Structure 1
C-alpha cells in the first residue's frame, strides 16, 4: 500500500509540478489559471424565451387597449354616450324577434347581454379595470395560463362587440386574434414562466407566423389592387399630411424629395409583398423576416399615430425568433430564465425525448392539433379573399374574430379636410356679429399653431372618427349631431374627450355648428412656420348648420338618445 501511495504521489508531482506545499529550487509554483470558459449557448429550435416575450408583448397591448377603454368608453358607448351600447343590443334583439336566442348571441357575443340596464356604465369600467389589472400582472410576471388569457380575450371581445363604429377597425380584430393565439401558447393553469410539462407548441408558433404573413400580404395586395398611386409610386407624396392623426415627424417627412417618397413606396411593397415569403425559407430567412418586419413597424410608429396597430403587428413577428436568437435579451444570472432554459435543453438532450409525463403530453398534443385544424378551417375564406380581385380588408368571417382579413391604406386621400366644431352665445346664429369659438380635440388638427401630437400606442377614438366624418357627410355620421347636443348641454363625460372647451367657466353655448376646412402642412421655414403655424387652412363651407338643444329634442327622441335640456 505504501508503494502504491508513493507512486501516485510521484505521478501527481510530474503532472502538477509538485505536490501541494513542495518547492522546486526553493520557489513554490502556482498552478496555471484555468482558461476562461464561454457561457453555454442556447441551441436553436426551442421557444421557451419566445413564449415569455410573446406573452409580455401581448399583455402590453392589452393593457393599452383596456386603458383606452377605461378613459373613453362611458363617453362613447355608456348610458349617456354618443352611441349607447344598450340601444345597440336592443336593436340586435329586435332584429332577432325580441329575444336573446342563439342567433343574437352568435351575432354579437358579449357579456353585456347579462348586464342589467342600470349597471352598464359600472360594467364598462369594471371590464376595463379587470382587463388592465390582469394584463399588467402578465406584463410584469412574464407568465400566464390559459384561464387568464381566455378571460382577457372574453373581456375584450365583449367590449368590441358592443363598441359599434368606435371599435370597427382592423386592430381590434387583430388584437383579438393575437390574444386567441396566446391562450393556446400557455399551460392550462400553471403560473410559471417555464412550465416544463407544457413546452411552447410549434403549431401555435406557426399560428403567429401565419398571422403576420396574412397581415403583411393582405396590406400589400390591397394597395396594389386599390389606389393607382401605389402603382405609380406617388402615394407617399400625400400620406404623411392626410393620414388620420399626423405626428411632428410626419410634418417634416412630408417635405422629403420626390425620389425619397418613391423609394419609400418601393420599400413598402418589398416588405409587404416579398418579405412575408421569407417565413417558409428556413430559419435564417425567418429571422430576417422578423428583423425586417419589426424595423418596418418601428418606422411606421415614428411617422404617425396609428393607434396601437403597428405595435400590435410587431407581436406575431416575435414568433420568428427562437430561444437562441432571443437569448441576448435575457439575463444569464443564476435563477434567471435563460439558465433554466439551458437546464431544460440539457435534460431533453440527455433523455433524448420530451421530458413530459406521457398522459399530459398526449392531451396537450390533441389540444394543439385541434387548434391547428380550427385555424386551418377558418383560414379558408381568408385565403379566398386574398386571392380575389375583389379583396376586402379588415373583415371578420366569424363573430368571434379568430381568423380575419387585414389591410391598411388601400386608398390614399389626396387632400386633408377637417370638421371644426364651433359654438356661440349669440341669440341669433345668423347674425354676422356672432362670435364663434372653436372646440379643440385631444389630437386631431384644429388650432393652426398647435404642434401635431405624439401619442402612439394610445388612441383617441373620437379624434379618429372625426377624420372619417370629414370626408363624409353628417347624415352618414349622426353621432356628430349627438356630440353637438352634448356640447350644448355641457355633459362632463363627453367634454372629457376634448382638449379645450372655450366655454369653460362660462354659460354654455346657445348654438353649435360644424365648419368644413381644407388643411395643409405649413412650409418648414416659410412665412407660416415663422409665425409658429404648423397648419394652414381654407374654409370649404358649412358641414352641419347651427343647432340648439330645443331644435334637437325631436331628433334625439327619434333615436332614443338621452336628452338633457340646458339648465
Structure 2
C-alpha cells in the first residue's frame, strides 16, 4: 500500500527511537537505584503487600507471579540493558518482527514496575512513557519506512498531552486566566532547578508574556500538528522550544524530555531516504488493528478532556495504552517544606541537639543552591513536596520513612544527600517541622549568600522513637 508508509520521516523515526530509548534508560536506572527503600520487601510501600490485595486484572505485572528484591533488580537492570541496546541501534540489525519484540520488552518490564509502584509511580509521565513506548513497538525498523498511522497516533498523543494541559489550566486556577501564575510558580514548583531563582526574579510583565506564550503553545499550536508540512514541523519545533524553556526553569523528571521526544516524529527532517521494499502484509495488518484499538480506547480520554470536570493524569485501562494528561491546574502561592531532624538525646527537648537530614533535590539548607537532576526522578523528594502541601499526601509511607531513619536503614539513607548520624549511631528520636520557604531578594542573596529564607510554621510530626508507634502526621 503506497499510503501505508511515509519514507520522508525516516530520520525523524530514527531520532525518535534513539531518544525514547534514552528516556527508558533513565527510567529503569531510577527504578534500579531507588526501589529497595521505596517498594522492596522492607520498603516504605512493599510490593508484596500491594499484590496481596490488588488482583492481576487491575494491575498487570510479573510481580503478581512472584516478588523478591532480586527479581525487581533483575527487571530494572534488564530494562537498562535493553534500553542501552536500543539506544545503540541494535533493533536496526534485526528482522522486523524481532525488532518489534525487542521494543516490546522495555514496555512490558516498565509496565510491571509502574503497576506495582503505588504512590511512588503515580506521576503522569509514567503513563506517558508507557503509551509512547507501546506506539514505538509498531514504528518499524530499517526494513520498512515509517507507517503513516503510527506517525499520526504519535501526533495524536502529543496533541492530548499539550491540549489537555492547556485546558486544565484554563479551567483551574484563575491565575492562568489573568496571566499571573508565573509570579509564583518558579518559587513553589515541586523541585526548583539551578536557574529557577533567576526565572522567579524576571520582571512581572515578562512572566505574563510567558503565560500567554504557554497558552498559545498548548491551546492553539497543537491543532497545527495535523496540517500539511512545513506547518506541522513549525508547530512541533515551537513545542520543543517551549519544553526546553521548562527544562531550564525546573526539575520535572523526564516529563519535558518525553514531550520533546514525542514532537520529533512530526518534524520533517532533511534526509536522503534509502530505498526499502514495501511493508509485509502481516505488518500492515498488525499496525492497522492496533491503531483501530487505540482510536477506540481514545473515547474516554477525549470525553474527560472536553469535560468541565476534567481530571489530570488518569489511566483508563490497566495497560496504560491511552491516557489523559495535564499539569498544574492550580499553582501554590506559598511554599512549605518539611524539615526532618533527628537527635541522639535520650530525652528530646525543643532546644536539644537536633540535626537535619538533607535531601538531594528538595530545599533544605537555605544556603544550598538547587541542583539539576532531571531527567532523573527523585521520587522521595517529589513526594515530600506533596506531603508538605497536605498531610493527606503522606499516607503510610511517611511513618515508614521515619521508622527507617530511626533504624539508620542503608537503603533509605542512600536516597538522601546527607545523614547527620554515623552508620553505627542511629538517632534516638526523629521529628518533622513545617517551614515556609521563599526566595531571597537580590539584596538578601548578596548579603547572606542564601537563596532561600525560611520561617517556622508548625510541628509536622512530634519527636518519635522506635519504642513507640510511629504516628502518621
TM-score by length of 1: 0.79
Distance 1:326 1:225 in 2: 40
> 1:81-480 counterparts in 2 under 5 A?
81-92=43-54, 104-116=55-67, 120-141=68-89, 143=91, 145-186=99-140, 194-195=142-143, 198-322=144-268, 325-327=269-271, 338=272, 341-344=273-276, 355-356=277-278, 361-429=280-348, 431-473=349-391, 476-480=394-398
CA contact (8 A) 1:166 1:461 kept: yes
* Unmatched segments (≥5 aa) in structure 2: 1-5, 93-98
What per-residue deviation string (whole Å, max 9, x for no partner) do you get for residues 35-73 of structure 1?
xxxxxxxxx862222221121011000000001001101
Distance 1:45 1:454 in 2: 38
> 1:417-566 counterparts in 2 under 5 A?
417-429=336-348, 431-473=349-391, 476-504=394-422, 507-524=425-442, 526-552=443-469
Distance 1:505 1:74 in 2: 18
CA contact (8 A) 1:474 1:543 kept: no
* Unmatched segments (≥5 aa) in structure 1: 1-43, 93-103, 187-192, 328-337, 345-354, 557-567
CA contact (8 A) 1:217 1:276 kept: yes
Could you tell me how far 1:474 is from its partner in structure 2? 6.2
Distance 1:225 1:432, change over 3 A: closer
What per-residue deviation string (whole Å, max 9, x for no partner) do you get for residues 430-461 of structure 1?
x3441111000011000011111111111110
CA contact (8 A) 1:308 1:458 kept: yes
CA contact (8 A) 1:503 1:509 kept: yes
> 1:69-88 counterparts in 2 under 5 A?
69-88=31-50
SS of 2:324's partner is coil
SS of 1:398's partner is coil
Could you tell me how far 1:105 is from its partner in structure 2? 1.7
Distance 2:467 2:118 in 1: 28
What per-residue deviation string (whole Å, max 9, x for no partner) do you get for residues 491-522 of structure 1?
10001001110012562111000100000011
What per-residue deviation string (whole Å, max 9, x for no partner) do you get for residues 217-261 of structure 1?
000000000000000110000000000000121101101111000
What per-residue deviation string (whole Å, max 9, x for no partner) do you get for residues 134-155 of structure 1?
1111111263511111111010
Could you tell me how far 1:369 is from its partner in structure 2? 1.3
Could you tell me how far 1:342 is from its partner in structure 2? 3.9
CA contact (8 A) 2:386 2:393 kept: no
Distance 1:365 1:547, change over 3 A: same
Distance 1:419 1:326, change over 3 A: farther
CA contact (8 A) 2:123 2:313 kept: yes
- 2:16 aligned with 1:54: yes
CA contact (8 A) 1:185 1:201 kept: yes
Structure 1 residues 466-475 or 383-392, which shifts more? 466-475
CA contact (8 A) 1:485 1:552 kept: no
Distance 1:243 1:142 in 2: 39
Could you tell me how far 1:127 is from its partner in structure 2? 0.7
CA contact (8 A) 2:7 2:145 kept: no
SS of 2:138's partner is helix
What per-residue deviation string (whole Å, max 9, x for no partner) do you get for residues 76-99 of structure 1?
00001111011111122xxxxxxx
Distance 2:23 2:114 in 1: 15
Distance 1:283 1:90, change over 3 A: same
Could you tell me how far 1:389 is from its partner in structure 2? 0.7
CA contact (8 A) 1:474 1:480 kept: no
Distance 1:171 1:55 in 2: 17
